[in-house]
Structure 1
Amino acid sequence: MAQLNQYSTLAVSQPRRFDYWKEVVCRHCLSADSKPSSQSDFEGTLQVNQIGALSISTLSSPLHHWVRSEQHVRSDAAEDLWLGFTRNGFGELEQGAQKTRLGAGNLFLYDATQPFRFSLGGTENHLLRIPRQLIAPRLPRIAECTARVLDESRPGAIPLREMCQQAASNPALLQDAGLAQRYASTLLDLLVLSLELQDTEVGHQEKDLYGRVMLYIQRHLSDAQLSLEQIAQAHHVSTRTVTRAFARHQKTPAAEIWKERLNASRHALEQGQVRSVSQAALDYGFSDFSHYSHAFRKAFGVTPQSLLARG
């Protein structure tokens, strides 16, 4: 038979409501520090029910903030993964190098073994606890999928979202233990399918992004202000996405900009396309001539002046 726990801050006096909320959420989810966005009366409801080996918590509340620190991770050695579904909710999640804004209808993951910052508000926010051993063997890189909104256009995402909603809103449907276990197994299959296809798509997108960014860098070498932020804006992505695309090639955007500038200036010197070392520096984004000469010699073993003389 499905277990069901229900809580409301209306059950306690007004001054104690947020403390009560924090206590019941931490008891059923993860230990963390929390604070409300507003000092006004806090009204929240929490429902928790079991689905086979999984549990699902449904929260409705004003916007408030959670921080799970290294200290919390050490004292509360939970290893679960959490699938979130903000049906009518909103907020922001940051974990590791990833940070994402959450809106109504989003599916996302976070990991109990790593610190995080999590802001959450709105109604019918579903948090599904998944024992790590049930999914990690099937997705060895699961830790890389956290704090990222799943693309609902990928197969598996929409039925996964609907099954989360059904499990939360109709717990009586899962009274039978055998049915609940099969339901949980199907949820996990859909999550694995969706994440596998998300990874494939992201990989292709980032590989394509790397090539487009490299072409953009080569076309803008004369811009002394060329930066990671400018590149990300020009390609309508975040700086983290650009950095991740380069990391797949064991490179960084800053290092590649520097290398491309030096290579282009060397080519210009060797081909006689510039009349002076200062012109070579300025044409390819270097404003500090002394720094340019030092970097050039370190990279190529010769001075730019020596190549100018040969040209």
Structure 2
Amino acid sequence: MAKQYEFIRILNGIWKKNGWSSLIKDRCNPYTCTRTSYICTSSHKSQEERSARERLSTAVSNYQARVDLAASYRGMHFYGMGEGVCNHLTLRAPAADGNGDVMLLVPHGTHWSEVTASCLLGICLDSGDVVEGDGIAEASATNIHMAIHNTMAPKIQSVMHTHTPYATALACLEDSRVRMVHQNSMRFFGKIAYDSDYDGLPDVEDEGPRLARMLGDKEILMMGNHGVLAVGHSAAYAFDSLYYLEKACLFQVLAMSAGTKLHEKPDNIAKKVAESFDAITVYADRHLDGLKKHLARQEPHFMS
């Protein structure tokens, strides 16, 4: 219950900062809900109050997106899937001031174990300027992720690029295909694209559109000699995909190290498994919700 009050305190701060009436009650769990109910102290149903409610709703959506992305950064660190202050996870969210959308991004130089909801930058998806938060946006992350978001919206809301150990190890092989040897592999059947054209650090202006073209309608891009990129309709979905892709690559690399032939399943079996996972996407939400609950106990300031 204390965490619930903390959530309300944060929203009241947003409310009062903008000169609106006080928020007096919230009826949702701050770690798992996707919508918020609230009651104004004024009974006068004016247009101004309705506008204030809309602004608060937008601010709440912005904050909830920030919590999801901060949890994703910390989760990657928790699972040993980060790389210092490099790589980037981004999420499209309503701008806090109600003017369109922003791309949420970690300030350059922030360690993933220290990311909080409030530290995230909001990047204008048209200009690339920082319009929310303080700090510097790393140029390649801004340009590359922004181009993917703009090319693949509205279907894609989150873009995550990492150098996770086993997926990256597989990407360093001449044949970097994820083989259908485990259930975790089969969930990605037909959803992985491969980019074998690494030729050095990219031109940040051109790389985003190129990667979007390489992805096409896929959800995962295995980036040869580089790493992996995942996209999804939510932070939870992209995060969950990266987690289970890393598990799939771990099992494959370990199986390959045995020096015997891999036991690959035929396409019809792999396709059936992938379709089964498509029908239970709530697992991704529950994964991130579980992580947020863990963080709320161990590192509650991630929500600040």
Range class of TM-score, shorter chain: under 0.3
Q: RCO greater where, 1 or 2, for CA within 8 Å and sep 6 or more?
A: 2
For the pair shown, the structure with the greater C-alpha radius of gyration is 1
Bigger fraction of residues in strand: 1
Report the TM-score, using the length of structure 1 for normalisation. 0.26
Report the TM-score, using the length of structure 2 for normalisation. 0.26
